[in-house]
Amino acid sequence: MKYAIIIPDGCADEPQESLQGKTPLQAAQTPAMDLIAKTGIVGAANHVPPELPAGSAVANMSLFGYDPVTYFTGRAPLEAAAQGIPLAPEDWAIRCNLVTVQDQQMRDFTADHISSDESAQLLESLQDRCDETTWQFIPGVSYRNLLIYRGAQQAAPFTFETRSTPPHDLTDQSIVDDFPRGPGSHLLSDLMNRSSEVFSDHQVNQDRQQAGHLPATNIWLWGLGKLPQLPGFAETYGKTGTMITAVDLLRGIAALIGWHEVNVPGATGYTDTDYAAKGEHAVAELASQETDIVCVHVEATDEASHEGDLAAKVAALENIDQQIVAPLHQALQDQGEYRILVTPDHPTPLRTKTHSHGAVPFTITGSGIEASDQATYDEVTGESSPLQFPEGWKLMEYFLTS
């Protein structure tokens, strides 16, 4: 049997006054998702335990069937795994975003979508001001980068009590009270302040401002942690998998659980991603004898929420439905026995522009699934369903074996 999972990241939301009380998922034209609901089942799952931070790292670990209370050790080490960066037991990985802070407010958590080349130049200049045996900056994609603390030379100053706020949680808000806190946090705050000095008159920022773009004023450090020990997916669930995503976090989880990854040209991790290309590559992967599960993760819905852009969120949902869910579902039916699951990882309300705790709706159809006569796939249908997973990590086993 072949399986497919589509993750419209952060698509679960609240009713919108401008949509006559509908959520974006209810308002969007999603006939392919609704067909899955009509021919299958709809339920709800909570992927973020209340004691853990609301976010994609915890939620996606749960979505892939791993109890985050047991296995979650931080977001950044998952992204380090995506880049093949080895972490020793004493090392710590830290998310290093380039941001725009003006008048002590988070003006833009993407530094106006700074390019990867510009980001790399800024980090190279900052690296020159830091001890390379202790601190290692790893350029990534656009504003998303990593910082590695190598602890072999001295005892690591951090613990799991060291806390930091994701920059996307601070959009248009004051940052004064949200610098890192807890053991070792003074080292992180010092680096953030140092970056402000290095970046202030950097040629990259001069060129950006001359071109009418916001400058990258400093780095923002968050999501630190140590490498988790995740058991392999094939050993745990008896299935192999392929991940299609433009986000390092999902690549990292895939690498740690032993899944194959397919890089799709034009996949950006933003609302301008090439939805059709993702759908085409997913359909092609169904023919692989090495893969039981094809997973397509789309970040666009989450990014739209972070920016408070309702129209972009609705458009992203419709693109996912038309260009990924519909062709993949049809291809699954054409090849034989199958199951397909559509689910976000966590809610990201447009109102707050950040991730939140709470259950999200899912829908499943395919071989062995009896239709439950639900007409649409949305938050209301999921909430009213008797099929509830308060421990969201148990949904994966249900999807594969029920």
Q: What is the pLDDT of residues 192-247, one digit of tens each?
A: 999 999 999 999 999 999 999 999 999 999 999 998 889 999 999 999 999 999 99
Can you say whether residue 13 is alpha, beta or left, with left for phi > 0 and alpha for psi between -120 and 50 degrees? Answer: beta
Share of the chain above pLDDT 90, in %: 89
Q: Please tell me the predicted confidence (pLDDT) of residue 25.
A: 98
Q: With CA atoms as reference, report the closest residue to 7 among 53, 39, 47.
A: 47
Contact 305, 349 (CB under 8 A): yes
Q: 236: helix, coil or strand?
A: helix
Q: Which fold has domain 2-71+229-401?
A: Alkaline Phosphatase, subunit A (3.40.720)
Whether the per-residue pLDDT at 1 is higher than 90: the answer is: yes
Mean pLDDT computed over 31-53 = 97
Task: Give per-residue pLDDT as tens, 50-81.
Answer: 999 898 999 999 999 999 999 999 989 998 99
Cβ(244)–Cβ(294) under 8 Å? yes
pLDDT band at residue 293 using 50, 70 and 90 as cut-offs: very high
Residue 153 has pLDDT above 70, yes or no: no
Looking at residue 107, its pLDDT comes to 96
* CA dihedral for 325, 327, 331, 334, sign (positive or negative): positive
Say how many C-beta atoms besides its own lie within 10 A of residue 309's C-beta.
16
- The Cα–Cα gap between 103 and 174 comes to 8
| Two tokens, residue 245 | 């995503």
What pLDDT shows up at residue 373? 83
3-state secondary structure of 41: strand
The residue-averaged pLDDT of 40-54 equals 96
Is residue 279 within 8 Å of 296, Cβ to Cβ? Answer: yes
* 245 vs 296: CA distance, rounded Å: 6
Round the CA-based radius of gyration of the chain to a whole number and report it: 21
Quote the mean pLDDT of the chain: 95
The pLDDT value recorded for residue 361 is: 98
Q: What is the rounded average pLDDT of the residues 363-376?
A: 94
**Distances 25 to 44, 246, 300, 377 between C-alpha atoms, Å:** 14, 22, 14, 8
Return the pLDDT at 214: 97
Average pLDDT over residues 27-42: 98
Which pTM does this prediction carry?
A: 0.86
CB 223 within 8 A of CB 166: yes
Instruction: Map out the domains of the chain as residue ranges.
Output: 2-71+229-401, 92-225
Residues whose CB falls within 8 Å of the CB of residue 117, separated by 6 or more in sequence, listed in order: none
